[in-house]
Amino acid sequence: MNLEEKVIALKEHQKKLKAYNHASSLLFYDASTSMPPGAAQSMSDTMGVISGEIYSLTVNPTFQTLLHDLYAQREMLDFQTRREVEELHLEQEKMKEVPKEEVIAMEEAQNLANYNWETAKKTNDFSVFAPHLEKLIAMKKRYATYINPGGDVYDTLLNEFERGMTKAQMDPFFDALRKNLVPLIKVVGEAAQPDTSFLAGPFDIAAQKALSDYVMDVMGIDKNRCILRETEHPFTIEFSKDDVRITTKYLEDDLTSNLFSVVHESGHGMYELSVDDALRFSVLGAGATTAIHESQSRLWENYIGRSLPFCKLIFPKVKELFPMQMEGVTAEDFYRAVNVAKPSLIRTDADELTYALHVMVRYELEKRIFAEELSVSDLPAEWNRLYKEYLGIDVPDDARGVLQDAHWAGGAFGYFPSYALGTAYSAQIYEAMRTAVDVDACCEKGDFAPVRQWLTEKIYRHGMLYTAEELIEMTCGAAFDPACYVTYLERKFSTLYAR
Amino acid sequence: MNLEEKVIALKEHQKKLKAYNHASSLLFYDASTSMPPGAAQSMSDTMGVISGEIYSLTVNPTFQTLLHDLYAQREMLDFQTRREVEELHLEQEKMKEVPKEEVIAMEEAQNLANYNWETAKKTNDFSVFAPHLEKLIAMKKRYATYINPGGDVYDTLLNEFERGMTKAQMDPFFDALRKNLVPLIKVVGEAAQPDTSFLAGPFDIAAQKALSDYVMDVMGIDKNRCILRETEHPFTIEFSKDDVRITTKYLEDDLTSNLFSVVHESGHGMYELSVDDALRFSVLGAGATTAIHESQSRLWENYIGRSLPFCKLIFPKVKELFPMQMEGVTAEDFYRAVNVAKPSLIRTDADELTYALHVMVRYELEKRIFAEELSVSDLPAEWNRLYKEYLGIDVPDDARGVLQDAHWAGGAFGYFPSYALGTAYSAQIYEAMRTAVDVDACCEKGDFAPVRQWLTEKIYRHGMLYTAEELIEMTCGAAFDPACYVTYLERKFSTLYAR
C-alpha cells in the first residue's frame, strides 16, 4: 500500500469505528431510557461483546501495522489526518497493553456495579455497592498499570478525561478555589436570602415539557437532529453529528431542575451537532476533552442561562405556563431565586457558587483512594466529614451522601475534577465571547445566532483537532487562568447578595 | 481442534452473533421509536456497517472451516448442536455466494427506500417511491440468483421466510381460500351488519394505554422482560429472551386498532420470551418461521382475543375506562362489533374474514413482478384492479393503496404469504389446543396460565429446533390442512351473521 491507500484504509477504519461506537452508545442509551428491568443481564452480555469487538478493531495486527506506518510518515499528512493518526496511535499504544479479557471484564463489572449502585442508593445501603466499588477500583488500578507502567495511578486516570492533567496541576487550581470560595460562601450564607417560595411548585409535568421545548427553541438547537428524553440522571450522548440525544428529569416540586438541565444538556448537544462536516466519520468528531465539553454546557447553563437578561427573556413564558405559581413574581425575583447560593447535599442540585466544593470533596477522596490512603469501607465517613468541613453541612444518609453519583459505578474515576475545571474554562471563554458578541442584546432579542456562530467558529467546529490548552489559547488569547472564574463568582454573588 | 473444542468455538460464535443481532435490531427499533428525523442518513450508514460485520462473521475463512468440519461430523453432535450447525451451514452456504458489497448496498438501499416510502405515503405520490422500489426489486433478483442460481426467483424469496415454501404449494392454498372465502364474504356482506357506532370514539389515549396495560396483564405476558412503545406500525422485536419490545399505535377514533395490536404483538412477544433457556445464545433461539410466528400472534388476537368469552372477560374493563362510549352496550354487542366483517382498504385494519384476500392481492402482484410479467409503473393500477375484483372496493389513492405497507420498502418480498399461512396454521393449532385446554374456562377465570403452558410445551420452547412442518405435525398430530381455517371462518361468521 502506498501512502494514499493507507490513508483510505485509515478513513475506512474510522467509519467502521464510528458505527461500532454508535451501536455501543445506543445500547447504553437504551439501557437508560427504555430497557425492561429484567433485561439487565442480557444487555450487559451484549455490551461486553461489542466492547470486545471495538477493542479488537483498535488492537489487531493489520491495523497496528497500518497505524505504525502512518505514524512514522505523519509529517507528510494533512493536518486533520495527522491528528487522527496521532489520536488513534495514542489510543492503540495504550490499549494494546490491556488484555482483551480485562476490557470485557471491566465493561461487565461496570454494568453490574451500576445495577447494584442503583439498588444501594434506593435502599440507602452502601454495603450493597461496596464490594462492586472495591472490584472496580482494583480493576482501574490494574488498568492504569497496564497503560502507564510505573506512572502515578491517579494521574493516569485524570489523563483519561483531560489529557496531560496531573494532580500537580489540579492541586493549585483547587487550592485557589478553596482559598477564595470558602470565605465568599460564608459571607453569602450570612446575608439575607432571596424569596424562593414560588419555586416550590407543584409544577405540572406537561407544562414543564412545554418549557423544555420552548427553551430548546430559544437557544436554537436543531430539533431535527436532537431529541430530548427522560432519564434518572440527565446526560447527552452523540451517535453522529446528525443524531444527538439529550435527557432531563422532571420533578413536580422543582421547576429549575429540569429547566437548567435542558439548558445544560443543550449546551453539550449543540457542541456535538456543530462539529465540522469534515469530521463526520473521524475519531476527532467529538468534543475536545471532558472539561472543554463541560465548559460548553456550563457556559449556556450558568453564564447565559442564569443571567438576568436570559431570565428576563424566558420569564414571560414561565409565567404563561405557571400563572398561579408566578403570580406577583417579577423577572428579577425569578433571577434572584434561580441564583440562590446555599450549601446543599446533592452535587447536581448545587448552585453555581458552591458547586466546585462538591467536586473538591470527590477529587480529594479519589486521590486518597488511589494513593491507597483510604479504603472503600472508610469512604462514607470521610465523605461526611469533608461535607461538614467544606460545606458546613451534615449528611443524613449515604443515599444523599457517597451514593449520590453514578460515576464511580461506571468506573469513571478522575472524571469529577473536569466538572470544576470546565466551569472555570467557561468563565474565561465567556469573557472572550463578550468582547465580540453582545450577549445581552441576544437575550433581549431572543436570538442567539451570534452566540452560536461565535462558539461554532471558536470551539464547536474543531472537534478534537486541538487540545484543551490550544483551544483556550486560540479562543481567549491567553493560557487558562482560574482567576477569571473566581472573579466572575465574586462579582456576581457580591452583587446578588449586596442588597 | 478436537470436536469438543470446535463445539465450544461454535457456541462462542453464536454468542457473538447474538450480540451483533441485538445491536442491529436495536438500531432498527431506535429508528422506529426515537430517532430524530435528520438522523436517517447516519442511521443508515451505521446499519450498513453493522450488517457488513454480521456478514463477515458468517462468511470468513476461519468460521467456514470450522462449520465445514462440524457439518461433516454432525451425526456425532447432540440434537441442538446438530441443528445449530445445519442452520448456520445453510445460512453460510447461501451468504458466501452474495458479495459483501451487495449486502451492505442492499441494507443501505432499504433504509433509503423506507425513508422515501414514508414521504411517498405522506404525500400520496407513488413516483417518489417507484425508483427505490425498482432498485430493490433488481437487487432482490440479483440476490436470489446469487443464493439459488438457476432457481425460480420468487420461490427463492418465499423460502427466505418460510423454508421449503414454493408457489406450487402456495397456489392451491390461496385457491382454496379464494374458492371458499369469496362467496362467504358475499353472503356476509349482504346480511345485516351489527351496530359498531360505539367504537367510533373519541377514546382518550391515556385510557387506551391503561387498557393496553390491562390486556397484557390478563394475557400474563412478563412485563419485567417486555415493554410496549408506540410506532407508526405495530411490531415485535427480540433483543434477547429477556428483552422483547412490542409496539402499538393509538388512534383517538378507533379503540380496537390498539386493543388487538397489543393482543397480537403480545402473542409474538410471548413466543420469544418463552424460548427454552438452553437456546439463549443459540441461532435457534427465535420463532421457528415467519408463518409459525404469525400463527402465535393470530391465535391470541383472533382465536382467543376475538372470541365471545374473551370479550366477556375484558368488557367490564373497557366499560370502566370508557363509560360514556359504552353506555347501554353489552359484552355481546362488543363481541359482534369487534368481529364485523366488511371489505376494506387497509390490510392492517382488515377483519378476520377478509384479511386473507388482502394478502392474496400482494401475493399475486409479487409473483408477477418477479416473473417479469408486471412492471413497477403498472403496480398501482393492478393493485386497484385486484382490490376491486377480490374485495369489491375502489381504491381512492395510492397512499391507501399500493403504498400502505412498509414491507416492500424494507425489501421484504415473499413475506406477505406467510401472514395468511400463519393465520391458517393457528386455526389448526387452536383446534388441537382445545382438545387439551379449556380455553373458555380460562377466559371466565381470567387466567391463561393453562394456555401459556400448553403453547410453551408445544411451540414456544422449541424455538427453531424444528421446522414448521414438524411443529404442526407434533402439535396437531397431522400435516397442515387449510380446511381447518376455512371451516373455522365459515362456522364463526355464519353464526355471527345468522341472526
Q: How would you class B201 by CB atoms within 10 Å of its CB: exposed for 0-12, middle for 13-18, buried for 19 or more?
A: middle
CB B111 within 8 A of CB B43: yes
The verdict on whether omega for the bond into residue B202 sits within 30 degrees of 0, i.e. cis, is: yes
Reduce the DSSP state of residue B229 to 3 states and report it. Answer: strand
- pLDDT grade, residue A20 (50/70/90)? very high
Separation of alpha carbons A245 and A199, rounded Å: 28
- pLDDT at residue B339 in the model: 96
CA proximity to A57, closest of A105, A92, A6: A92
Interchain contact, A36 vs B241, CB within 8 Å? no
Separation of alpha carbons A445 and A220, rounded Å: 13
Rounded alpha-carbon distances, angstroms, from residue B412 to A360, B244, B366: 57, 22, 10
Separation of alpha carbons A378 and A401, rounded Å: 13
* 3-class SS string, B377-423: HHHHHHHHHHHHHHHCCCCCCHHHCCCCCCCHHHCCCCCHHHHHHHH
Beta strands B236-240 and B243-248: pairing type? antiparallel
The CA radius of gyration of chain A, in Å to the nearest whole number, is 23
CA proximity to A299, closest of A182, A446, A440, A451: A451
Rounded alpha-carbon distances, angstroms, from residue B27 to A17, A245, B46, B157: 16, 14, 8, 24
- pLDDT at residue B499 in the model: 53
Reduce the DSSP state of residue B152 to 3 states and report it. Answer: coil
Residues of chain B in contact with residue A50, where contact means CB-CB under 8 angstroms, are 19, 23
**Is B19 an 8 Å CB contact of chain A?**
yes
Average pLDDT over residues A404-422: 95
| ipTM computed for the complex | 0.91
CA proximity to A331, closest of A363, A301, A309: A309
**Is A62 an 8 Å CB contact of chain B?**
no
Beta strands A243-248 and A236-240: pairing type? antiparallel
- pLDDT at residue B182 in the model: 86
Tally DSSP H helices, then E strands, for chain B. Answer: 20, 3
CA proximity to B267, closest of B308, B234, B300: B300
Interchain contact, A242 vs B42, CB within 8 Å? yes
Separation of alpha carbons B137 and B366, rounded Å: 10
Separation of alpha carbons A404 and A399, rounded Å: 6
Separation of alpha carbons A62 and B285, rounded Å: 34
Extract the residue ranges of chain B whose pLDDT is less than 50: none
- pLDDT grade, residue A72 (50/70/90)? very high
Cell 420498502, residue located? B409
- pLDDT at residue B351 in the model: 93
**Is B452 an 8 Å CB contact of chain A?**
no
Q: What angle do CA A477, A481, A485 make, to 5 degrees?
A: 110
pLDDT at A329 over 90: yes
Residues of chain B in contact with residue A49, where contact means CB-CB under 8 angstroms, are 15-16, 19-20
Residue B90 CB neighbour total at 10 angstroms: 12
The verdict on whether omega for the bond into residue A202 sits within 30 degrees of 0, i.e. cis, is: yes
Residue A413 identity (one-letter amino acid):
F
Beta strands A243-248 and A226-230: pairing type? parallel
Q: What is the dihedral of CA B75, B76, B81, B84, to 10 degrees?
A: -30
Q: Which of A26, A50, A243 sits opposite B36 (nearest CB)?
A: A243
Average pLDDT over residues A232-249: 95
Average pLDDT over residues A244-254: 96
- pLDDT at residue A173 in the model: 93
pLDDT at A255 over 90: yes
Distance of CA A182 to the CA centre of its chain: 24
All cell numbers assigned to A344:
446543599
Active-site entry in B118, B160, B265, B294: B265
Interchain contact, B15 vs A229, CB within 8 Å? no
Interchain contact, A227 vs B26, CB within 8 Å? no
A294 Cβ neighbours under 8 A, 6+ residues apart:
A418, A419, A421, A422, A423, A425, A426
Direct distance between the N- and C-terminal alpha carbons of chain A, in angstroms, rounded to an integer = 72
Residue B249 identity (one-letter amino acid):
K
Tens digit of each residue's pLDDT (9 = 90 or more) over A175-216 = 999 999 988 988 898 899 999 999 988 999 999 999 999 999
**Is B36 an 8 Å CB contact of chain A?**
yes
Q: Which residues of A260-271 are buried (b: 16+ CB within 10 A; e: fewer)?
A: bbbbbbbbbbbb
CA proximity to A95, closest of A66, A63, A72, A134: A63
Question: Which residues of A form the catalytic set?
Answer: 265
Q: How would you class B328 by CB atoms within 10 Å of its CB: exposed for 0-12, middle for 13-18, buried for 19 or more?
A: exposed
Sign of dihedral through CA atoms B346, B348, B351, B354? Answer: positive
Residues of chain A in contact with residue B41, where contact means CB-CB under 8 angstroms, are 242
Reduce the DSSP state of residue A74 to 3 states and report it. Answer: helix
Mean pLDDT for all residues in chain B: 95
Interchain contact, A41 vs B223, CB within 8 Å? no
Q: Which of B42, B50, B223 sits opposite A240 (nearest CB)?
A: B42
Q: What chain A residue is nearest to B44 in terms of C-alpha separation? A: A19
Chain B nearest C-alpha distance from A53 (Å): 9
- pLDDT at residue B186 in the model: 85
Q: Which of A19, A36, A227 sits opposite B226 (nearest CB)?
A: A36
Interchain contact, A26 vs B23, CB within 8 Å? yes
Q: Give one DSSP letter per residue of B311-359, joined into a string.
A: HHHHHHHHHHH-TTTTTT--HHHHHHHHT-----S-GGG--TTTHHHHH
Q: Give me the long-range contacts of A485-491 (CB less than 8 A, separation at least 24).
A: A485/A177, A485/A423, A485/A424, A485/A427, A485/A428, A486/A176, A486/A177, A486/A180, A486/A181, A487/A427, A488/A303, A488/A427, A488/A430, A488/A431, A489/A180, A489/A181, A489/A184, A489/A352, A489/A353, A490/A180, A490/A184
Q: Give one DSSP letter per residue of A229-260, joined into a string.
A: EE-SS--EEEEETTEEEEEE--BTTBHHHHHH
Cell 397431522, residue located? B478
pLDDT at A265 over 90: yes
